[in-house]
Every structure is written in C-alpha cells, then in structure tokens.
C-alpha cells in the first residue's frame, strides 16, 4: 500500500497510537459515563430516600397539626354543635399558624366548612376520607394537585374530618429539590382521565409522561435512563392519591448532560492530550523513520546504481545495523568492482601472453570506427609467425608463447599509439593509428627489419620470420569481425604469394558467400540439364583404337557462364552434395554409353567416384544396381588417397565392385603419397599415371624411369596402365615403348560432347609412332 518505508512506519506508529488512544478515550468515556450514571443513580436513590423522609415528615407535620386540631375540645365542640363561625375562625387560625394553603372540615354529613365545596369533588373526597382513618394523599383541587392530610374529628364519635392541603407547586418542588445534593428536577404527576399529567411546571413532556405511566404500571422503583432529547435519569416514586385511586407520582429527573458536565473538562483534556500525542507520535515516528529509512533509501539507490554497473559508495552515518549494512555494502561494491575489473581484464586479455585478446581487438576497432571521419580508414594488420608450429616444437611451448608476447611488446615499442592483440597462437593483430593504407604500407616496409630482428629468449637470440596481412575499412563498410577476417585472409594471401606483407586483395579472394548458393543452383542445374558430360577418349596403345572414354562433368551456368569443375565438384564434396552429383553423372554416363552403342561404338566409360563415396556401402549398392539394370560397362575411377581415409570399408566396397564386374581404376597415381602396400591391397584393374610425370617424360631420365617402373609394377600386379596428359607425339611414342597400355591427353583428344564424340569415333584413325618405329625397326 505504501511505497515508502517512512510513510509505512509513520502511518503504522501513528495509527497504533491513535488506536490505543481511541481505546483509552472510549474506556475513559465509558468509565466516566457509567461512573457518572452510577453516582447519579446513587445520588438519586439517596435523594429519593430523602424525599421519602421529607415527604413523610411533611405529612407527619400536617398530620400532627390536623390531629391536634381535631382533638381540640373547643374545636370539637364547635364542630359538634355546628358552630360554623367558630369552626371557620379556628381553621383560619390554624392555617395561618401552620402556613397551610388550605384547611377545611368535611362533616360526616358532607358539610364543608372553610372551603367552597364547588372547588373540589366532594363525593370522591368524602369516600376517600370515609374509607380510611386519617386518609392522606394527592388530591386535585381547582385542577391543581395538593397534598391532603386528614384527621377525623371525634366528639367522641366521628363527626367529620379536618383536612389540610399543601400545594404541590413549583416553590414546593424547588424546596424539595434544594434538599438534594445534586440538582434534581422534581415534579408531581397525577393521572387524569387516563393520562399522566403534571399541572405545575410548564407544558407536559410527552415522552416523560408516557414513561411515568409505564414506570407506574411496571412499579419501577429504580432510576432509569430515559433517552431522547437530552438523556436523563428518571426516578418515579409513587405517591398515594386520594382521588380515583389512579395514583400520583413524584418524578425526580436528573439530566445526564448535567451529570457529565463536571467530566467535560476531563474529556476535553483527554481529547486534546490525545490529539497532541498523536501529532507528536506522527512527527516523532516520521523523524525516526526518516532517520531509519534515509540510509536504507540511500542503500536502495546505491544498489540500483550498482546493478547498472555504476561505481557507488554509500556514506556510513551510523554505527548500528544499518551502518554495518552500509559498510558491508561498500565492501561488497568494492569487491564487485575489483572482480569485475579482473573479469574485464581476463575477458579482454590473453591469459598466456597478457596481450589484449580478440574481443579487446574488436572493441578497439569499433572504437576507432566510431571515431574516424568520412573517407578515413581504420586499418589493421595481422602479423603471423611463419612456420610457428616448427618453431614451437623446437623451443618449447612456453618460450614460443613468450616469443609472441615479446613481439607484441616490440610492436608497441615501435608504434606506441597502436593496440596489439593476440589473435591466435601464432598471429598478432595490430590496430594502426594511421588512416591511410598506402602510407601504412610504406611504414610497414620501413619497419620490417626492426620487427624481424632476433628476439632474445632465455639469453639466446631466436630468429623471427613474420608475414603481414593488412586490411582497411571505412565507416559503414565492414564491422570489426569482418575487418579482422580480411586481415587474416590477407595474411594467407601474402603467404600464398610468398610476400612479406600484403593488403587484402578482394579480386583474388572472390566471394565465398556466393559459393554456398552455388550448391542449390547445382541441384537445380541437375534437374534442368544445365549439367552435362564431356568425354575424353582413351587410346589403346597396342591397337590404336579408342577403347574407352572418361566422362567429365561440366556445368554451363546461365548467368555465371562456364563453371570450373574443380570448383563445383570440390564444393559438392565439401557441402555433402557429392552423392547427388555422382548419381546424376552415373545416370548420364549410362545413358551416353547407350547412345554410343546405338551409334555403333562400344567403349568402356570411366566415371570419377569421389573419395567421399568410396567408403559408402549404400552408394556402392545403388551404383551396382544401376549398372546391372542398364547392362552398362562402366569403370569407376578413384584416387588412392580416398582409400587411405577408411581402408577397411573402402577395400570391402572395392571388393563388392569387383564382384559385380565393375572395373576400378586408380586415378592420379603418383601425385599423392601413396604406399605400395595399399596398391597391393586395392583390387584395381587399372592404374592411371598422373600427368605431372607424363608431361615431363622427355625432360629427365628420372621421371621416365619412374613411369617405366610404375608400368612394370602395375603389370606385375595385373593392372593395365593409362597415362594421363599425353600432349605430344614423342610422349606417346615413349609410353608406347615403355609398354603403357592406354594414353589419354590433348594429343589424343580433348574432352568433348557426346555428339562430337560420336563424330570423332566415326572418323578416328591413327598411325601409332612406336608401331611405325617398330615397323621401321622390325
């Protein structure tokens, strides 16, 4: 709910205090109220008792007066003898003496003396007086309640009653009220025609009248809290009434507001103290939580900044837990910084040499790229140790690494503004501070002797042979990774060109990314028939006939034109598309052979099988099936090196081909480092001598000897021999003399399309020189 600790704490404390205070206030209020009520009740009960006593005394006083008069002999004599004037004067005398409101006699015969009988309900009064000896109670005279006291006049028999009446009016009530310790409202209620009324004090309070009726009915003798308007405690004390028997009641009232009045300052004090306290607590907890929350907030902010990787330290202001937390935080932040620095250093440096690594290099390039102006170049150089593996083998791993480090140091010493990074174990990359490639090439040339000066390792000077490749880029041309790649390619190019340094040659490099799309295009070309076979005839040196052809795949790309076979075949081998290509060549060869047969030329057709397929049983099975199905006569040309990769499988595949009567020819013999042991194991039918030997056949005796011995070796192993690259009549003759079986080369024929081949075969005739010579010699 609250986002801030400070607010939370303040609200919590202030709230708790306010709650506690409210509880206290309510408890105080309840205690005070109940106490006040109890006090008032007790007071009322006490006052009620006092009133009872006062009432009784007053009654007694009146009674005594009445009694006294009733016993006065003269008075009695006057009454008994109906001496009215005497009686009246006696009554008046006593009334004055006792301070009575009214005094009169009622005779047993109903005669009233001392009062106008019309003012009262004589019949009711007479009955009441007659019903009880010394009857007393409330009686209404002139519609006003009076307390009536009677005493019988006996002379000696009952002749009448002397009646004293005291008004129950306001002064009377006030006099009663004054007797109480608390200021009570006293009121006399009497019942008239079913309603409880009080004739005295102001208009009738209806709820109070109703309550009096209820209290009288239920005989409630305890003070009761009467709500409505102003709450008041009401005590209803029944008083005897003389008329009708409905009764009368003395009602004592005490307003609760008055009872609460003395406590009001206390309540106000509690409230004010409470409000003051709550304000103080709120302020104090605000201040306290501020002190508490401030360092936490500072820590929070610092933690966020630390998260963002900023360098932060929080101020330690206190020595409590939070202070210790801040100290810990600072320690942690420092450790994180150190660790981070170490990690960055490790991430950006080569562990062995301590030189910056490739990532550092890329960053430096990116930084330079961001800083260069338009048209300016960022140039890097890849400096590679020549024949590093050999050097490392000679001086050991550790020293070789030191050699790299020292070279890096040397570069840095020569050109202090550059960044030197170790790229691979043997290559160092340098980000130049120069912006111009041509200028830099000159500088590099000048610095070359200094760079290649021997480096001292373990007290011994070691020769340094390096090659440099340079690459440059403008902003937006290349990214760091591509620039590095280009420098490495330039290094390779320089080595290939046997130069000490070279800038990247884009023309020589071509576009490797285009090569990948070439493969999908090749598969497309297979379908569209853009791929086709050229056939190079093979001449039988004994008969002079063309007995075989070698099928060679050719691709005429619709946009790129003629594509070199070594490019797309090599690419197919590298990318795993060789099977598809070979399957196509196989099918095409079978079809071409069929067409040659149809044209009347039965020739053995040789197909080149990639080394990648020679250890593939599935391919072998497929090829055998195809050949068998077409009844074709094919020869599979393989290179001996293909067998070396996985000899067991390759040899078993060759066995299967032999079993299927598919002759196998060993291609390019002599170009690799083949061993005679393999030659012995391979069940081949033919050996093709590499053209490198054949072209130089006439130049030296060594090659001629090699070719001759090879032919003899092959023959002794039961294989025919084909010589490749025969380009001259002399060469052909020499081969014929050496006993070579077949010849292939430009001197015989270039590879050609099927139509051309059919025409060529139709016109073929040759005068074999050796035969001529043999003829001549013979």
Partner 1 sequence: MRYVALLLMAALWAGPALAGDFTVTVRGADGKPVPDAVVMIYPNGQPTKGPIKFAWPYRVAQQNIQFNPFVLVVPVGADVAFPNLDKVRHHVYSFSAGNKFEIKLYGHEENRTAKMNTAGVAAIGCNIHDQMVGFIRVVDTQYAGKTDATGAVTIQDVPAGAVVAKVWHPYLRGLKNETALQTKSVGAGPAREQVTIDLRAPAGH
Q: Give the phi and the psi of residue 576 in degrees, each rounded to 5.
A: 85, 15
Q: Tell the smallest beta-carbon distance from residue 242 to partner 1 (Å).
A: 18
Q: Tell the smallest beta-carbon distance from residue 57 to partner 1 (Å).
A: 23
Residues near 141 by beta carbon (within 8 Å), at least 6 away in sequence = 102, 119, 120, 165
Q: What is the DSSP letter of 433?
A: S
Nearer to partner 1, 81 or 93 (CB): 81
Q: Tell the smallest beta-carbon distance from residue 82 to partner 1 (Å).
A: 9
Q: Tell the smallest beta-carbon distance from residue 189 to partner 1 (Å).
A: 32
Nearer to partner 1, 73 or 562 (CB): 73
Nearer to partner 1, 148 or 212 (CB): 148
Which of 285, 296, 286, 287 minimizes the C-alpha distance to 318?
Answer: 296
Is the CA virtual torsion 614, 616, 621, 626 positive or negative? Answer: negative
Q: Tell the smallest beta-carbon distance from residue 210 to partner 1 (Å).
A: 40
Q: Tell the smallest beta-carbon distance from residue 132 to partner 1 (Å).
A: 11
Residues near 503 by beta carbon (within 8 Å), at least 6 away in sequence = 437, 441, 469, 470, 471, 472, 490
User: In whole angstroms, what is the distance from residue 80 CA to residue 579 CA?
Assistant: 165
Q: Output helix, strand, coil percentages for the chain, rounded to the nearest 5.
A: 55, 20, 25
Nearer to partner 1, 76 or 486 (CB): 76
Q: Tell the smallest beta-carbon distance from residue 127 to partner 1 (Å).
A: 14
* Cβ count within 10 A of residue 338: 10
Q: Tell the smallest beta-carbon distance from residue 252 to partner 1 (Å).
A: 35
Beta-sheet pairing, 686-689 with 664-669: parallel
User: In whole angstroms, what is the distance from residue 153 CA to residue 134 CA?
Assistant: 10
Nearer to partner 1, 79 or 726 (CB): 79
Alpha-helical runs (H) found in 72-121: 73-80, 84-98
Question: Where does 418-530 show beta strands of DSSP type E?
Answer: 419-422, 427-431, 455-457, 460-462, 466-473, 501-503
Residues near 695 by beta carbon (within 8 Å), at least 6 away in sequence = 725, 727, 731
8 A C-beta contact, residue 20 and residue 312: no
Q: Tell the smallest beta-carbon distance from residue 93 to partner 1 (Å).
A: 20
* Binding stretches for partner 1 (CB under 8 A): 71, 73, 76-77, 80-81, 133, 152, 154-159
CA angle (734, 736, 738) in 5-degree steps: 70
3 state DSSP class of 530: coil
Q: Tell the smallest beta-carbon distance from residue 153 to partner 1 (Å).
A: 8
* Residue with token string 């919590």: 12
CA angle (120, 124, 130) in 5-degree steps: 120
User: In whole angstroms, what is the distance from residue 738 CA to residue 711 CA?
Assistant: 7
3 state DSSP class of 383: strand
Length of the chain in terms of residues written: 778
Token pair for 157: 């028999």
Q: Tell the smallest beta-carbon distance from residue 158 to partner 1 (Å).
A: 4
Nearer to partner 1, 76 or 535 (CB): 76
Nearer to partner 1, 77 or 331 (CB): 77
* Cβ count within 10 A of residue 122: 15
Nearer to partner 1, 158 or 303 (CB): 158
8 A C-beta contact, residue 670 and residue 679: no
Nearer to partner 1, 152 or 769 (CB): 152
Q: Tell the smallest beta-carbon distance from residue 76 to partner 1 (Å).
A: 7
Token pair for 22: 């409210």
Nearer to partner 1, 159 or 536 (CB): 159
User: In whole angstroms, what is the distance from residue 49 CA to residue 184 CA?
Assistant: 13
Token pair for 706: 């090699």
Q: Give the phi and the psi of residue 141 in degrees, each rounded to 5.
A: -125, 130
Q: Tell the smallest beta-carbon distance from residue 151 to partner 1 (Å).
A: 9
Q: Tell the smallest beta-carbon distance from residue 137 to partner 1 (Å).
A: 19
User: In whole angstroms, what is the distance from residue 689 CA to residue 722 CA?
Assistant: 6
Task: List, in sequence order, every residue forming a beta bridge with 460; answer none if it has no partner.
Answer: 457
User: In whole angstroms, what is the distance from residue 337 CA to residue 329 CA?
Assistant: 12
Q: Tell the smallest beta-carbon distance from residue 146 to partner 1 (Å).
A: 23
User: In whole angstroms, what is the distance from residue 707 CA to residue 63 CA?
Assistant: 176
User: In whole angstroms, what is the distance from residue 599 CA to residue 597 CA?
Assistant: 5
Is the CA virtual torsion 609, 614, 617, 621 positive or negative? Answer: positive
Q: Tell the smallest beta-carbon distance from residue 90 to partner 1 (Å).
A: 15
Q: Give the phi and the psi of residue 105 in degrees, each rounded to 5.
A: -115, 150
Token pair for 676: 């005679």
């Amino acid at each position: 709910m609250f986002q801030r600790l400070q607010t939370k704490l303040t609200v919590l404390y202030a709230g708790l205090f306010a709650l506690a205070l409210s509880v206290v206030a309510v408890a105080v209020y309840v205690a005070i109220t109940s106490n006040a009520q109890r006090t008032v009740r007790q007071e009322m009960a006490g006052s009620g008792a006092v009133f009872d006593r006062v009432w009784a005394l007053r009654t007694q006083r009146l009674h005594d007066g009445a009694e006294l008069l009733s016993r006065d002999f003269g008075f009695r004599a006057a009454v008994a003898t109906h001496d009215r004037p005497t009686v009246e004067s006696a009554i008046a005398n006593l009334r004055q003496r006792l301070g009575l409101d009214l005094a009169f006699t009622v005779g047993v015969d109903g005669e009233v003396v001392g009062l106008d009988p019309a003012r009262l309900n004589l019949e009711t009064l007479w009955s009441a007086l007659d019903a009880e000896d010394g009857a007393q109670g409330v009686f209404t005279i002139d519609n006003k309640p009076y307390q009536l006291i009677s005493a019988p006049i006996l002379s000696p028999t009952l002749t009448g009653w002397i009646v004293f009446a005291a008004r129950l009016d306001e002064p009377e009530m006030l006099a009663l009220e004054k007797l109480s310790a608390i200021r009570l409202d006293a009121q006399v209620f009497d019942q008239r025609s079913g309603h409880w009324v009080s004739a005295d004090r102001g208009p009738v309070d209806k709820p109070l009248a109703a309550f009096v009726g209820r209290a009288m009915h239920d005989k409630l003798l305890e003070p009761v809290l009467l709500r409505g308007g102003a709450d008041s405690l009401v005590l209803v004390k029944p008083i005897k009434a003389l008329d009708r028997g409905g009764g009368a009641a003395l009602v004592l009232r005490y307003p609760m507001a008055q009872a609460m009045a003395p406590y009001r300052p206390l309540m106000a004090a509690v409230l004010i103290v409470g409000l003051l306290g709550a304000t103080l607590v709120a302020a104090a907890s605000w201040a306290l939580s501020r002190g508490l929350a401030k360092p936490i907030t500072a820590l929070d902010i610092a933690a966020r900044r630390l998260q963002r990787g900023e360098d932060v330290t929080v101020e330690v202001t206190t020595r409590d837990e939070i202070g210790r937390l801040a100290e810990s935080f600072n320690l942690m932040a420092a450790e994180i910084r150190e660790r981070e620095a170490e990690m960055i250093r490790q991430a950006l440096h080569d562990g062995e040499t301590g030189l910056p690594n490739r990532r550092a290099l890329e960053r430096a390039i990116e930084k330079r790229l961001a800083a260069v102006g338009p048209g300016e170049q960022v140039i890097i150089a890849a400096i590679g140790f020549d024949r590093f593996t050999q050097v490392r083998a000679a001086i050991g791993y550790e020293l070789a690494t030191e050699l790299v480090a020292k070279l890096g140091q040397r570069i840095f010493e020569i050109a202090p503004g550059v960044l030197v990074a170790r790229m691979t174990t043997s290559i160092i990359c340098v980000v130049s501070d120069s912006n111009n490639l041509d200028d830099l090439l000159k500088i590099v040339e000048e610095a070359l002797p200094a760079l290649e000066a021997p480096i001292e390792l373990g007290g011994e000077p070691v020769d340094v042979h390096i090659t440099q490749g340079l690459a440059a880029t403008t902003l937006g041309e290349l990214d760091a990774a591509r620039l590095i790649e280009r420098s490495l390619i330039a290094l390779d190019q320089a080595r290939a060109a046997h130069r000490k340094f070279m800038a990247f040659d884009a023309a020589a490099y071509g576009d490797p990314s285009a090569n990948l799309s070439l493969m999908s295009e090749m598969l497309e070309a297979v379908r569209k028939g853009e791929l086709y076979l050229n056939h190079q005839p093979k001449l039988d040196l004994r008969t002079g006939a063309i007995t075989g052809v070698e099928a060679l795949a050719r691709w005429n790309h619709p946009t790129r034109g003629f594509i070199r076979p070594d490019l797309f075949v090599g690419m197919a081998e590298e990318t795993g598309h060789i099977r598809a290509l070979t399957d196509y060549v196989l099918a095409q060869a079978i079809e071409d052979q069929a067409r040659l047969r149809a044209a009347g030329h039965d020739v053995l057709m040789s197909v080149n099988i990639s080394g990648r397929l020679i250890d593939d049983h599935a391919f072998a099975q497929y090829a055998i099936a195809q050949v068998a199905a077409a009844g074709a006569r094919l020869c599979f040309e393989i290179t001996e090196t293909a067998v070396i990769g996985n000899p067991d499988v390759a040899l078993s595949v060759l066995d299967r081909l032999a079993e299927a009567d598919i002759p196998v020819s060993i291609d390019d013999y002599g170009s690799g480092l083949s061993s005679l042991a393999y030659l012995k194991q391979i069940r081949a039918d033919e050996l093709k001598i590499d053209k490198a030997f054949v072209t130089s056949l006439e130049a030296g005796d060594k090659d001629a000897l090699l070719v001759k011995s090879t032919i003899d070796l092959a023959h002794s192993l039961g294989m025919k021999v084909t010589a490749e690259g025969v380009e001259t009549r002399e060469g052909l003759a020499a081969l014929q003399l050496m006993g070579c079986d077949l010849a292939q080369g430009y001197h015989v024929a270039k590879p050609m399309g099927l139509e051309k081949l059919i025409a060529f075969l139709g016109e073929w005739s040759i005068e074999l020189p050796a035969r001529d010579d043999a003829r001549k010699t013979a």
